Amino acid sequence: MALRALRGATTVDADVPSQITERVQALLTTLLARNGVSHDDLVSIVLTATEDVVSLFPAQPARALGLGDVPLLCARELAVVNGTPRCIRVLVHCESALPRAALHHVYLEGAKGLRDDLPD
């Protein structure tokens, strides 16, 4: 097992708690499942949101998935000109037996095109 980092992102159509919850949970569930990461493999999770996402901390939906004992941190994404609006990004630190090249990063909804250089 080695310490690995998984990346992902999603977007919301509107800054409403129900959609943030739905999209963050879909992102985390997909990211962990695609990489075979269990709860005990998790070290920490960093979530960022663009400045137009203010109705809910993105960590709240993660806690609702049962990740409340995993260190979670929310931060503000950089406000870059022409950046993806209403975007929530995640960086998951975990223990994994997979080599770095075998990891699957997950980009959903309007974030699908952010990292087209990564393997599917």
Active-site annotation holder among 22, 34, 74, 95: 74
Catalytic: 7? yes
Residue type for position 39: H
Q: How many CA atoms lie within 13 A of 38 on its CB side?
A: 3
Catalytic: 4? no
Active-site annotation holder among 4, 23, 86, 89: 89
Catalytic: 107? yes
Tell me whether residue 93 is exposed, middle or buried, using C-beta atoms within 10 angstroms of its C-beta: 0 to 12, 13 to 18, 19 or more.
middle
Active-site annotation holder among 23, 77, 87, 109: 77
Catalytic: 63? yes
Catalytic: 115? yes
Pick the closest to residue 6 from 89, 62, 110 (CA basis).
89
Active-site annotation holder among 4, 23, 94, 107: 107
The residues assigned a catalytic role are 7, 63, 74, 77, 89, 107, 115
